[in-house]
Amino acid sequence: MELDLGPELRAFRDEIRTFLAEHRIEELAGQDEMAGYAGQAEPESETRAAAWSEWEAALAKERLICPQWPEEVGGRGLSGVEMAILNEEFDRAGMPRVVRGMGESLVGPSIIVHGTEEQKAYFLPRIIDGTDRYCQGFSEPDHGSDLAGVETRGVVDGDEVVITGQKVWTSGAHRANTIFILCRTDPDAPKHRGLSYVLVPMKREDGSSNGIDLRPLRQMSGASGFCQEFIDGARAPLFNVIGGLNNGWRVAMTTLGNERGGRATTQHLRYEREFWDLVDTARKLSADKDPLVRQDLAWAYTHVQLMRYSGLRLLSTLAAKREPGPEASVNKLFWSEYHKRFGNIAINLLGAQGMIRPEGPGYRTDRWQQVFLGSRAGTIFSGTSEIQHNIIGERALGLPKEPAVG
Ligand SMILES: Cc1cc2nc3c(=O)[nH]c(=O)nc-3n(C[C@H](O)[C@H](O)[C@H](O)COP(=O)(O)OP(=O)(O)OC[C@H]3O[C@@H](n4cnc5c(N)ncnc54)[C@H](O)[C@@H]3O)c2cc1C
């Protein structure tokens, strides 16, 4: 089913569909959109790298990189509904969007809201053209859920901030060249008030260390998708403080709102594809007639459809130009808990075979083992499920606040 949202949006859908048909590059069909994220993936071949450059140039020409950003900062000013249509059409064509990771989805939107005109003019084009690749330095060993308690210190020294402390669970840090750090610049202020949001280069301009010692962390899935950083005197210009000194909490909340809302309007597409792949696996294993398997699959399908309908509800909120409320937390809780149970269903379906890793070097896991192990992370990052429950209870349902410890 395709939503009919009126003639203007229909024309927009047609425009994107035509663009995709005219510029399609077969070599990239079916590629993960993150594969081209500013050189994240090692291109398998020169031809593949050339194909990405050609695809990037075509999208850039139509302002289809960071297209949700306002036109005056280099985007195309697409509304939430238009973004949903855009994502649907790319998905339908099997072509990857060129995405700029955390720069596009977290840092850019925070700069747009809290940055000065000079900061917008400097930082945003560098995200669009892939010069700056960001990672998120919020969590610390003792401060994950309790983010406002971060202890990493930022001290103003002339026209620079000098940062010392420790960050952990930093996704993609080994591929980033800039880390956005939440640090304490006023230790005497109440804890939410003494924080600053600073964009810190991972290396100095001459390529030497900026005092950030990066150490990869191995996950139970075998991948090393994130790092911890020991930071000793990393320097950033005061110009890189977004939202003003000691005003970092507000900026961080904008970042987290964007992180939790994600792609709520179209995320069901990915889960639906994954669901049908599992049905295929069930058929191959002749498990598709097993009533317990069918019951699990029916549960999963129902939940993907619920995700789709709640995406449509969010779309109609956006189409009516109303601000979404606590949907971001509801959405985050729903998809992450769904995916964790889906991982259990997949691994149960494989039976004993699910306990055996594929042969090969390193710590290999197959697709469903990856879902089973990796989906646990979804209920932790961007605020754990317990934290989302607290937000929904207190801010959406108006329940009494959780008593503070001590
Ligand atoms: C895959 C992955 C990627 C990540 N990427 C990043 C990243 O790029 N950058 C970054 O900064 N961080 C990142 N994180 C870290 C993530 O944000 C934290 O792990 C998360 O906020 C939880 O913090 P914690 O691990 O310190 O757990 P804690 O905060 O110590 O929580 C431990 C347990 O206590 C519960 N709990 C804590 N407080 C409460 C409360 N008030 N009420 C009820 N229960 C509570 C939690 O739900 C959890 O079950 C990532 C994490 C994962 C798993």
- Asked if 354 and 366 count as a contact pair (C-beta separation under 8 A), the reply is no
Beta carbon of 384 within 6 Å of any ligand 1 atom: yes
Check residue 372 and give its pLDDT. Answer: 95
Mutate-to-test residue for ligand 1 from 182, 376, 380, highest number of ligand atoms within 8 A of CB: 380
For ligand 1, atom 51, which residue shows the shortest CA distance? Answer: 381
Q: What are phi and psi of 89, to 5 degrees?
A: -70, -40
pLDDT at 1: 47
Helix (H) or strand (E) holding 376: helix 367-378
Give SS3 for 216: strand
Please tell me whether residues 247 and 268 are part of one structural domain: no
For residue 379, the domain's CATH number is 1.20.140.10
Whether residues 368 and 329 share a domain: the answer is yes
204 CA distance to ligand 1 middle (Å): 30
At residue 400 the predicted structure's pLDDT band, cuts being 50, 70 and 90, is very high
| CB-CB contact of 123 with 139 (8 Å) | no
Which residues pair with residue 136 across a beta bridge? 180
Percentage of the residues of the chain whose pLDDT score is greater than 90? 72
CA atoms within 13 A on the CB side of 178: 23
Domain boundary among 217, 241, 257: 257
CB distance 386 to ligand 1 below 6 Å: yes
- Same domain for 284 and 337: yes
Query: Which of 193, 198, 219, 246 lies closest to 381, judged by CA?
Result: 219
- Whether the per-residue pLDDT at 238 is higher than 70: the answer is yes
For residues 80-96, average pLDDT: 90
382 assigned to some structural domain:
yes
Is there a single domain that holds both residue 136 and residue 213? yes
- Is the model more confident about 403 or about 65? 65
- Establish if 115 belongs to a structural domain: no
Query: What integer is the mean pLDDT of 2-23?
Result: 88
pLDDT of residue 41: 45
Cα of 378 vs centre of ligand 1, distance in Å, is 10
Residue listed under structure tokens 């059409």 = 89
What's the CATH code of the domain at 62?
1.10.540
113 in a domain, yes or no? no
State which of 228, 256, 381, 401 you would mutate to test the pocket of ligand 1, scoring each by most atoms of that ligand within 8 A of its C-beta: 381
Q: How far apart are CA 74 and CA 66, in angstroms?
A: 8
Confidence of residue 262 (pLDDT cuts 50, 70, 90): low
d(CA 167, CA 156): 20
For ligand 1, pick from 139, 258, 379 the residue to mutate: most ligand atoms within 8 Å of CB. Answer: 139
Mean pLDDT value across residues 379-403:
91
Q: Which residue range(s) make up the domain with 279?
A: 262-396
Any atom of ligand 1 within 6 Å of the Cβ of 381: yes
Out of 58, 82, 99, pick the residue that ends a domain. Answer: 99
Indicate whether 246 belongs to any domain: yes
* Number of CB atoms found within 10 A of residue 142's CB: 11
Last residue of a domain, one of 81, 99, 117: 99
Q: How confident is the model over 194-236, as pLDDT tens digits?
A: 999 999 999 999 999 999 999 999 888 777 888 999 999 999 9
Which atom of ligand 1 is closest in space to residue 102's alpha carbon? Answer: 8
Q: In angstroms, what is the C-alpha Rg of the chain? A: 22
404 found inside a domain: no
Question: 29 with 44, same domain?
Answer: yes
CA of 172, closest atom in ligand 1: 8
| Residue 195 to residue 183: CA distance in whole angstroms | 5
Please, which residues bridge with residue 137 across strands?
A: 181
Mention every residue, 6+ apart, whose C-beta is less than 8 A from residue 370.
221
Buried b (16+ CB within 10 A) or exposed e, 259-269: bbbebbbbbbb
**Res 140 pLDDT > 60:** yes
CA distance 217 to 341: 25
CATH of the domain at 183: 2.40.110.10
* Residue 156 located in a structural domain: yes
Answer yes or no: do 319 and 388 share one domain: yes
**CA-closest residue to ligand 1 atom 43:** 386
Which structure tokens are listed for 78? 């697409």
Strand partners, 182: 197
- Residue 308 and residue 238 share a domain: no
Does residue 359 fall inside a structural domain?
yes
CB 107 within 8 A of CB 127: yes
C-alpha closest to that of 148 among 188, 191, 105, 117: 191
- How many CB atoms are located within 10 Å of the residue 304 CB? 21
Calpha distance 264→404 (Å, rounded): 32
Instruction: Return the H-helix or E-strand segment holding 344.
Output: helix 327-350
| 205 is a catalytic site residue | no
Pair 156, 217 in one domain: yes
Confidence of residue 44 (pLDDT cuts 50, 70, 90): low
Host H or E run for residue 301: helix 291-319
11 part of a folded domain: yes
Are 357 and 390 found together in one domain?
Answer: yes
> Is the four-CA dihedral 141, 152, 235, 126 of positive or negative sign?
positive
The closest alpha carbon to 174, from 222, 223, 140, 135, belongs to: 135
User: Of the candidates 317, 270, 329, which has an alpha carbon nearest to the alpha carbon of residue 79?
Assistant: 317
The answer to whether residues 244 and 269 belong to one domain is no
Question: Higher confidence at residue 269 or residue 153?
Answer: 153
pLDDT (0 to 100) of residue 283: 97
Query: Above 60 in pLDDT, residue 43?
Result: no
User: Do 205 and 269 reside in the same domain of the chain?
Assistant: no
136 lines ligand 1 (CB under 6 A): yes
> Cα separation of 292 and 278, whole Å?
15
Instruction: Count how many domains the chain has.
Output: 3
Q: Which atom of ligand 1 is nearest to the CA of 135?
A: 8
Span from the CA of 138 to the centroid of ligand 1 (angstroms)? 10
Q: Are 216 and 163 in contact (CB under 8 A)?
A: no
Strand 134-137, strand 178-184: pairing: parallel
